[in-house]
A = this chain, B = another copy of it.
Amino acid sequence: MSAATSLPIAHDTAAHRSAFTAKPPRTGMQHPTSPIPVGVLGATGTVGQRFITLLAAHPWFVIHALGASPRSAGKPYRAAVNWKQVTPIPSAVRDVVVRECTPAAFRECKIVFSGLDADVAGEIEEAFRAADLAVFSNAKNFRRDPHVPLIVPLVNTSHLSIIPQQQALFSPPLSKGFIVTNANCSTTGYVIPLHALEKAFGPIEAVIVTTMQAISGAGYPGVSSLDILDNVIPYISGEEEKIEWETLKILGGITENDQGVKTFDMHAKQPLRVSAACNRVPVIDGHTECVSVRFAKRPPPSPQQVREALAAFTPAAQTLGCPSAPRHAIVVHEEPDRPQPRLDRYYQDGAGVSVGRVRQCQVMDIKFVVLANNVSIGAATSSIINAEVAVLKNVVQY
């Protein structure tokens, strides 16, 4: 069976992905001319499975090594994994022998994607970086590190500028190794429209967000069916704190003192208050979020101005010509009852976000609903676009 046939849902085929490349790269921006070998850590987990599905059809990256726990190491991938995707295991990796997550086993990888669980990600990613490997991680462990950028690829790829400072902490300084993290899935979805709004209308000073999150956000086996069928769980451990903190780092800038030391400013120029209420709902994929925002600017923009600004938003990852970037970052729905996770989570192969119900808020200024695919832009897709940007900006040495 050819790769194309093995993917009845084309989320992931190169043919489709390439369709999203809105424009040819700008002059001077070199696309890679030969395949870049990459590795996947935590390859048997749910995020790892998504990495593999996406990378198997990637125009630049070729899977070179798969890492998992010692229990899986040594087995062919198909035997080590409990595959849970709706597309078959890509034929290119079915028989790949899984390795242990040691830097030596991945030393030929120019990029290493990490879908590791937080309980092991810290130590392993640290070791990989120390071995001068470039790590793009979906794990939470280094998100709060003052030298590690926390990047939502449609928002703040400019934060890659902290990398040299991160490398300089080592002695001798690293030349290729670093860690880049992407954000929590529920943070990712809603900061994209928030960033678009700040670009158009200046700083936001307060946000209240209530999430209705899909079960896939909890991994596998994750949420027990007895807890979620015919139910809502109005609590996800640590989630509200992540949203409230990560939003500041992502939407904030980087300041530089007289000695040239860079610091994430946490949105300090206009202090931003964020209040999150997180809920788990019986939805498989796709986080729906109800957002109310208050702008610093008086009078605030009208709902129509907000709609137009969101629809017009073009992230740098798109301008650069990243192959996995969505062609349209934000679709703005006019129908009153959209976005809905089941109907809208596949928008732009899950790399874009859907916004709807933009209207006035009686308490803040504007309220709207945002839907983001937590297993795509909310996880593996983010890491991959981050890596693509890093390649185009020559942050990754290949």
Name A's B-contacting residues (CB within 8 A). Answer: 1-2, 4-5, 7-11, 13, 15-16, 19-20, 84-87, 206-208, 210, 212, 215-216, 220-235, 237, 244, 273-275, 277, 279, 281-284, 288, 290, 292, 294, 327, 336-343, 346-350, 356-357, 361-364, 367, 369
Contacts and interface: CB of A to CB of B under 8 A. Distances in A.
A8 B8 CA distance: 11
B279 A290 contact: yes
4 residue pairs, one from A and one from B, having the closest CB atoms: A10-B10, A221-B224, A210-B210, A231-B342
Number of identical protomers:
4
B279 A282 contact: no
A357 B277 CA distance: 10
B281 A282 contact: yes
Contacts of A357: 234-235, 277
Contacts of A215: 225-226, 229
Contacts of A220: 224, 226
A90 to B, nearest CB: 15
A16 B13 CA distance: 10
Contacts of A9: 9-11, 346
Contacts of A277: 210, 290, 292, 357, 367, 369
A349 B5 CA distance: 9
